[in-house]
Amino acid sequence: MVVTLDGPAASGKSTTARLVAKEMGWLYLDTGAMYRAMAVKVLDEGIPLDDPEAIGAMARRTKMTLKASDEGTRVFLDGVEVTHRIRTPEVDRAVGPVCEVPVVREVLVALQREIGKKGSLVAEGRDMGTVVFPDADLKFYVIASIEARARRRRIDMERQGISVSLDELIHEIERRDRRDSERTHSPLRPAGDAGLLDTSEMTLEQQVGTVVQKIHRKMAR
């Protein structure tokens, strides 16, 4: 069984997907971490964000592997772990342009589909239900208010010792939303058969419980 959770940045989909997968005993596919890892590689190699050919060439020669852990997905590039480096302001700014490069999406979608063959899983991202797993058994589109999303992102960054203002995060999230929804390849949009999940006022337990309940209902049919 394949369950997808799509939605904009910091909407709550990643943590929800990870905990749902853990409760169900399924695989968890964190595609956002995969794109962020590619952005780390772009920054490390000093590739200009407006050079899609160089970014695409990097993506083709880079070997990415994922490992599950209680804290989430660990990401390795060419055998080197980059998990601790993927959620910084620099990566936040770089990941949008990297996502827009068709070769990057081609490489990562192929890897995501390969992972999807290994068994039941919960996949989260921006085009899981529309592009990667269009025939998924259950689809969710996760949203939240811009303020709630900025607060969540600030908490994540503070845990890493990064200080950033709420206004700065709101601006960055709005910019990312525009880029994601207006891009040519796989723009951010809900699948026609996806259920809407607004997490603005929901606790994490409520988010997970809602998804798990719908999974059990689907499995009982």
3-state helix, strand, coil split of the chain in percent (to 5) is 55, 15, 30
Long-range Cβ contacts of 43-46 (<8 Å, 24+ apart): 43/90, 43/91, 43/94
Residue type, 140: F
Q: For the chain, what are the domain ranges?
A: 2-32+89-213
Residue pair 196/139 in contact by the 8 Å Cβ criterion: no
Q: What is the pLDDT of residue 113?
A: 95
* 171-221 pLDDT tens trace: 999 998 998 888 887 888 999 999 999 999 999 999 999 999 999 999 998
Instruction: Name the band, by pLDDT with cuts 50, 70 and 90, for residue 70.
Output: confident
Give me the CATH topology for the region 2-32+89-213. Answer: Rossmann fold (3.40.50)
* 93-111 pLDDT tens trace: 999 999 999 999 999 999 9
Kindly report the pTM of this predicted structure: 0.85
Instruction: Name the band, by pLDDT with cuts 50, 70 and 90, for residue 89.
Output: confident
* 18-38 pLDDT tens trace: 999 999 999 999 998 999 999
* 101-149 pLDDT tens trace: 999 999 999 999 999 998 899 999 999 999 999 999 999 999 999 999 9
Phi then psi for 125, rounded to 5 degrees?
175, -140
Identify the H or E element spanning 24: helix 13-24
Residue pair 31/169 in contact by the 8 Å Cβ criterion: no
